[in-house]
């Protein structure tokens, strides 16, 4: 099991994938098929059914990742930034 240093603790890669999935679902981006977390490389790849969900995920991440339109994937090399951005988006939506 690989871990990601986050704050003052460590988070398992499975927990990171669960967090991302839960927050994507909560904000309505639920067309994802797979979420692959590579903690040693600080990388996340998410495959979507809908290209729009991949593009919106890229926007939410602040453009820190890349949207591969041909394969409907979003990819980033900054797991922490994506997690914080999804959390902020979730809280903003919940308070609207």
**Sequential DSSP letters for 46-72:** EEESSHHHHHHHHHHTTT-SEEEGGGT
Burial class (CB in 10 A: 0-12, 13-18, 19+), 89: buried
Cβ(51)–Cβ(77) below 8 Å:
no
- Class of CATH domain 3-91: alpha beta
**The pLDDT of residue 96 is above 80:** no
Cβ(52)–Cβ(85) below 8 Å:
no
Q: What is the pLDDT of residues 56-90, one digit of tens each?
A: 999 999 887 898 888 999 999 999 999 999 999 99
Residue percentage of the chain with pLDDT more than 70: 99
Q: What is the pLDDT of residues 15-57, one digit of tens each?
A: 999 999 999 999 999 999 999 999 999 999 999 999 999 999 9
pTM value is 0.90
With H, G, I as helix, E, B as strand and everything else as coil, classify residue 78: coil
Instruction: Delimit the domains of the chain by residue range.
Output: 3-91
């Amino acid at each position: 099991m690989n871990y990601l240093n986050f704050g003052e603790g460590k988070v398992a890669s499975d927990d990171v994938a669960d967090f991302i999935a839960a927050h994507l679902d909560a904000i309505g981006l639920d067309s994802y098929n797979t979420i692959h977390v590579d903690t040693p490389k600080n990388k996340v790849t998410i495959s979507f059914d809908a290209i729009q969900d991949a593009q919106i995920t890229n926007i939410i991440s602040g453009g820190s990742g890349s949207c591969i339109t041909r394969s409907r994937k979003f990819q980033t090399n900054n797991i922490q930034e994506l997690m914080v951005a999804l959390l902020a988006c979730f809280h903003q939506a919940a308070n609207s």
